[in-house]
Structure 1
């Protein structure tokens, strides 16, 4: 089974508009992406921490820890989006589209940056 062509623009859009969900990692590496699952579980933990903090009358240390985990998931997603989005197209193709060398190549241009 051949791997599909990976678009840098789609990866960047997933990381920008759905941060912390790990969807950008799942797009690149499939459902077995370790970092995608870490981001998704951290985001869910952050949401649970936020809900716990809002429902309890007192400040809870556990809720704050969960919120920080969710925040880290968001930041990690945005950082990976910036790093991979600004990567040169040739380097992107060599890593994620190696089976398409010569047939199809990434020409992302400025939409990824903007």
Structure 2
């Protein structure tokens, strides 16, 4: 029988900061669950589509309807990454260790996780509110444009 390979403890502060800095690409999930995590890989195409919407809007202007659909995807990916950082950072150490370090306890996260949560809250709230405002504005502009087109 072979022993399980030695795995370094998964630290809460590292997972929190990975979610803040590169969570839109699933870095926190790769850290916690490994390279075979399907949800981690799902972050990449969604974020790239959102970035394509940003590039289209910068290149073609605000009248490009495809960018209206793609750009909010980027905002939602940023918001979900920040929410994940908040959840990771605020998870109790005992629960964190039971879930991610069942064989041995990891050192307490300390203030690094708390600082990550604070930054994630600021960035996530900004991204979510901006996405809602942008999507709402574009939707109502589209409705007005359609009403004008029909009335002519």
In structure 1, C-alpha distance between the alignment counterparts of 2:42 and 2:16, rounded to whole Å: 18
Aligned to 1:111: 112
What is the Cα-based RMSD across aligned positions, in Å?
A: 1.6
Deviations 1:15-59 (A, max 9, x none): 112241210111101112222222222111111111112222562
Describe how 1:1-114 pairs up with structure 2 within 5 A.
1-57=5-61, 59-100=63-104, 104-114=105-115
Q: TM-score, normalised by structure 1?
A: 0.86
Q: Between Structure 1 and Structure 2, whose CA radius of gyration is higher? A: 2
Which of the two has greater helix per residue? 2
Deviation >3 Å, runs of 4+: none
In structure 2, C-alpha distance between the alignment counterparts of 1:94 and 1:38, rounded to whole Å: 26
Deviations 1:76-96 (A, max 9, x none): 110001011100000000000
Q: Are residues 2 and 55 of structure 1, via their aligned partners in 2, closer, same or farther at CA, if it must alter by over 3 Å?
A: same
In structure 2, C-alpha distance between the alignment counterparts of 1:41 and 1:2, rounded to whole Å: 32
| Partners of 1:11 and 1:28 within 8 A in 2 | yes
Gaps of 5+ in 2: 116-152
In structure 2, C-alpha distance between the alignment counterparts of 1:105 and 1:58, rounded to whole Å: 48
Q: TM-score, normalised by structure 2?
A: 0.66
Secondary structure in 2 matching 1:18: helix
In structure 2, C-alpha distance between the alignment counterparts of 1:105 and 1:19, rounded to whole Å: 22
